Amino acid sequence: MSIGFIGLGIMGKPMCKNLLKAGYEVLCFDMVKAAVDDVAAAGGKAASSVSEVAKQCTQIITMLPNSPHVEAVTLGQGGIAENAAPGTLVIDMSSIVPLASRKIHDSLKEKGIRLIDAPVSGGEPKAMDGTLSVMVGGAQNDFDEALPIMEKMAKSIVRVGEIGAGNTAKLANQIIVGVNIAAVAEAMALAAKAGVDPELVYKAIRGGLAGSAAMDAKTPMMLDHNLKPGFKVNLHIKDLGNVIDTGHSVGVPLPLTSMVMEMMQVLKVGGMGDADHAALIRYYEKLSEFEVKRLS
């Protein structure tokens, strides 16, 4: 039996290809035919619709942009709920609002279909090399069934609680990543305009308490002015919008998140929504009226 894979974007396509490399048979679908053709050329099977995937697969991965897309694929006309067999396991690896995960889970449960929420972190590079981090919410037995599949796409996989907990953890992750990248950009702008080589500052501090995976991934991109998206500004805006909505719903003020959200909105308005979120360096270059670059 094939594994179904719905959603072949920046992250989904390499994740799907890693399943193929591991020897799984994968039936894939995306609205963009070129993405399906690319995966088919790598050995995957092409489906013409969500319903075709749902009818043929009892384990289905979804990797979609946001809550409405996941709801449409799972609960909408021609979707998984209408076509999947009872007992089917849906592994939703999209990053969506936790309340949406719970709603979808409860609706699918009425049809005898199981769901876990398993959003990922690591961006395109880690999706490509199969070292993503996955945060999972759902029943233990469903997690156990999905684990061997997820292990072919990820290095760190942690069940953090019941349904919705995975996406709650992902929201926390996106707060830390966004604020961290903004802090790195601010620090590099300070160093550069003060006349100190920002690359040497990065090398000097990366081994101390300030060091982080975000710093290591994004500082070289900032200094090279390489903004090819591993994770787009627009996607981070989507995630921070979900963070803020969730924070408001549970009564948690989020002043740092809100500030970074507005910084990213400046980039979006400036036509950089499809750039990597390392483009936050551009925000600081504009504020300081100074180009951040290596001095040596």
Q: Does 218 participate in catalysis according to the annotation?
A: no
**Residues 235-239: contacts with CB within 8 Å, 24+ apart?**
235/65, 236/174, 236/177, 236/178, 236/264, 236/277, 237/261, 237/264, 237/265, 237/268, 237/273, 238/65, 238/66, 238/95, 239/95, 239/170, 239/171, 239/174, 239/178
Tokens of 287: 């504020």
Q: Count the alpha carbons within 13 Å of 6 in the hemisphere toward its beta carbon.
A: 27
Q: Which residues contact 126 (CB under 8 A, 6 or more apart)?
A: 132, 133, 155
CB 266 within 8 A of CB 237: no
Question: Which tokens is 180 given?
Answer: 């961290």
Residue 261 neighbours by CB under 8 Å, 6+ apart: 178, 237, 240, 241, 244
In whole angstroms, how far apart are CA 292 and each of 153, 204, 206, 263? 35, 17, 18, 17
Which residues, other chains included, contact 34 with Cβ-Cβ below 8 Å and sequence gap of 6+? none
Show the tokens assigned to 143.
């997690």
Q: Which of 13, 17, 170, 218 is catalytic?
A: 170
The answer to whether 155 and 130 have CB atoms below 8 angstroms apart is: yes
| Active-site amino acid positions | 170
